[in-house]
Amino acid sequence: MSAVPPVTPRPDVPLALAEPVRRVGPRWITFISLANLALWMAYFGPLQVLLPQQIAAADPLGKEAALAWVTGIGAAVAMVLNPVAGALSDRTAGRFGRRHPWTLAGAVAGGLGLVFLAFQGTVAGVAIGWCLAQAGLNAMQASLTAGVPDHVPVSQRGQVSGWIGIPQTLGVVLAVVLVTMVATTTRSGYLLIGALVPLCVLPFVLSTPDARLPAGHRAPFDAREFLRGFWISPRRHPDFAWAWLTRFLMQLGNAVALLYLLYFLTDAVHYERRFPGQKAEDGLLVLILIYTAAVVLTTVVSGVVSDRLGRRRTFVTVSGFISAVPAVIMAFWPEWTMVMVAAVIMGVGFGIYLSVDNALVTQVLPAAAGRAKDLGVINIANSGPQVLGPVIAGPIVASLGGYPVLYLTSAVLALLGASLVWKIRSVP
């Protein structure tokens, strides 16, 4: 068992920049989890259902390529906006704190982007709307992500990351339920989620502390230094670089596997032919429910155990090897029963990964003054694969072996990422 000794804050370090030593309580965890639930509903409702439906209606013959372009461009916006918003929140010295203003403003902007999407009928309009939504949602994500290293001591981060990770998968379920069963049209689905995002953020913003950054601890703004800050030298911070690369490969494997899941059910599993009267979206919801149940059962437990053992890398490796198994199943056995088995295994693997890798990343950040910016750079490893994923997946599905090669590629990427985590030296 590994324990992190308590640290007495230095009197010359403001609370906003100090290493947290007091454990957070259930109320704080509940409200930040609710805000994260809104965030992931706003991401996955469109990605899993609304965008594919909207694009299929706008361009039925070229839907695969169009979806790849729209999601790729949106992810490119995310790659830029997440670290920039994080860096700006690091510098925010107003009376309302560093993070909460960005959380609320991002939620409102993201919700408005989804409302804009509700009224689009062309691929170009959908692309513009998704970029607007991504801009706001990534500003919100940058500030929320920084909440863990801002408030949670290292000895509790696996557990808290597990609780915060549950909304990432539960958000998929709720989003799909909302946009397929509650809201019966694409337009009403966008409007419903667009309204829920800021509403779910308000309890966290209005009733949890957010330490102010004293203006004297903020360096004068210099454009060159601001831009230079986004480059984190792998030579000076090798563990940060390896953590980034590990996440990038794992997320790339995930992006490659999930981008065409709805089309995979239609074209490879032949779900609608196997179950007359049902749509592929119904099968997608079943898979998401199975996957979410597996994640919920494993993510908090994995986080707590990794806190107690202090061994993050082992858990990340195990999760990567588990995650490769369902990709192989889907490559060779595109049958409904086997796909459901794959969903269980995928949920177990991702549940372990979700809490432990998030905790690991917070332990390799270069400096407290740039937590949100550095986590924004880490988040490029989440959004970057959404850009590169379509570039890889589109040609594979179209002409380089189809879905079997696609899912084998996903398995290889997961295994590679799981192996490289051992390059990190400062975290057990």
Q: Radius of gyration (Cα) for the chain, nearest Å?
A: 21
Cα separation of 413 and 424, whole Å? Answer: 18
Q: What is the pLDDT of residue 240?
A: 95
Which DSSP category does 139 fall into? H
Pair 354, 292: CB distance under 8 Å: no
Read off the amino acid at residue 133.
Answer: A
| Nearest residue to 284 via CA among 383, 175, 189 | 175
Domain ranges of the chain: 24-213+233-423
Cα separation of 390 and 69, whole Å? Answer: 7
Q: What is the pLDDT of residue 391?
A: 81
Q: What is the pLDDT of residue 7?
A: 41
Tokens of 110: 């993201």
pTM for the whole thing?
Answer: 0.83
The tens-digit pLDDT sequence of the chain (428 residues) is 333 333 445 556 788 888 899 999 999 999 999 999 999 999 989 988 899 899 999 999 888 889 888 988 998 899 899 999 999 999 998 888 999 999 999 999 999 999 999 999 999 999 999 999 999 999 999 999 999 999 999 999 999 999 998 898 788 788 888 988 888 899 999 999 999 999 999 999 999 999 999 888 888 888 988 999 999 999 999 999 999 999 999 989 888 887 788 889 999 999 998 999 898 888 988 888 898 889 888 999 999 999 988 889 999 999 999 999 999 999 999 999 999 999 999 989 988 998 899 889 999 999 888 999 999 999 888 877 877 887 888 889 888 888 999 999 999 999 999 999 999 999 98
**Which residues, 6+ apart, have CB-to-CB distance to 274 below 8 Å?**
336
Pair 312, 360: CB distance under 8 Å: yes
Asked if CATH classification 1.20.1250.20 holds for the domain at 24-213+233-423, the reply, yes or no, is yes
Q: What is the pLDDT of residue 11?
A: 57
Pair 313, 356: CB distance under 8 Å: no
**Sign (positive or negative) of CA dihedral 403, 318, 374, 41:** positive
**Which residues, 6+ apart, have CB-to-CB distance to 314 below 8 Å?**
none
Cα separation of 209 and 199, whole Å? Answer: 18
Q: What is the pLDDT of residue 127?
A: 96
Tokens of 101: 């203003």
